[in-house]
Amino acid sequence: MITGFITSDTYLKHKTGSEHPESPQRLEAIINSLKSSGLWDQLYHINPTIQGETNYVNLVHPMSYQKRFQDAVDMGDTFFNSSDNPISNDTYMAANLAVSGTIQGINTIMNGQCNNAFATIRPPGHHAEESSAMGFCFFNNVAIAARYAKSIYNMDRIVIIDFDVHHGNGTQHIFEDDPSVMYISLHRFPFYPGTGAEDEIGRNDGRGYTINYPLSVHAGDDVYLDIVNNSIADKVLSYRPDLIILSSGFDAHELDPSGGMNVTTNGFNQMTSTFKQLADSSCNGRLLSVLEGGYSLKGLADSVHGHLKILSEESS
């Protein structure tokens, strides 16, 4: 089993300030953990580059929004849209390269270079709306990746599973009327950003293809695993996707300073095992995992290490 690992030093150049939780140290902790364990050498390394002249960000975000973002960076602004979204000289470049990383993950899976892949990118994306930055997010990486897979590889059905502690409001809104993308989220509720109630099920032709599992604080492994192994598994297998994309936030970890959900590293490992089995059963193992949140450096590093170890193991 070959697992792609996508990252770039450029992602470290998006500076957020010494007190900000979404910091370059997050990626450094992941990489150091992988190197110290030896797992680093077992991965298929992908160094992303900007994808030629085609601007795939356009698949989700209008040029007017991209220009506002780039102008804010070029003018030396310290944040974009709100103080939640600090920016620095290299933020626009890093955000574009995060999009390229997810796209190159799709490509390496589809051309057979790897069976699945993990995009170790920043800034994250699932809060980004079509024309608005929010919650540390500027471009919606997973949404762009899904539309890219549909456009370039003619995929009919894609599942996005978001297990970040925060609901992915941007991803939900982008696909809420699209039956070709099933968006599934399990998250703390009520909690930031305030969306993700159980009765948010999509609209128009997409009604029924948005599925939310709002969870109470301190839910823990048993609650998460019951939902993943039963309800989510049934929905994914019934939908028969061509690809599974994970919005992989690890801020529900018991060590996370703000998540409050008490999920253990082993709990995340067991969820990963189920997601991998679902990909094997429904779409020939095609699975792209994209980093979202996770702000305990140890909790994040341990969880991503386990995530990658399971993704890279031979399927039973």
Known catalytic residue at 127: yes
Task: Check whether 189 has a pLDDT greater than 80.
Answer: yes
- Predicted model pTM: 0.98
User: Is residue 308 within 8 Å of 277, Cβ to Cβ?
Assistant: no
Looking at the chain, the whole-number percentage of residues with pLDDT higher than 90 is: 97
Task: Check whether 179 has a pLDDT greater than 70.
Answer: yes
Whole-number pLDDT of residue 30: 99
Write down the mean pLDDT value for the chain. Answer: 98
Whole-number pLDDT of residue 51: 65
- The catalytically annotated residue of 61, 127, 167, 305 is 127
DSSP one-letter code for 314: P
Phi-psi group of 117: left, alpha or beta (phi > 0 → left; psi -120 to 50 → alpha; rest → beta) = beta
Q: How confident is the model at residue 1 (pLDDT cuts 50, 70, 90)?
A: confident
Task: Check whether 315 has a pLDDT greater than 90.
Answer: no
Task: Check whether 316 has a pLDDT greater than 80.
Answer: no
Strands 82-86 and 79-80: antiparallel
- 3-312 to CATH, choices 3.30.460.80, 3.30.450.20, 3.40.1410.10, 3.40.800.20: 3.40.800.20
Q: How do residues 233-242 score in pLDDT, each as one tens digit?
A: 999 999 999 9
Task: Check whether 96 has a pLDDT greater than 90.
Answer: yes
Whole-number pLDDT of residue 52: 65
Whole-number pLDDT of residue 92: 98
Strands 181-188 and 158-162: parallel
Average pLDDT over residues 154-158: 98
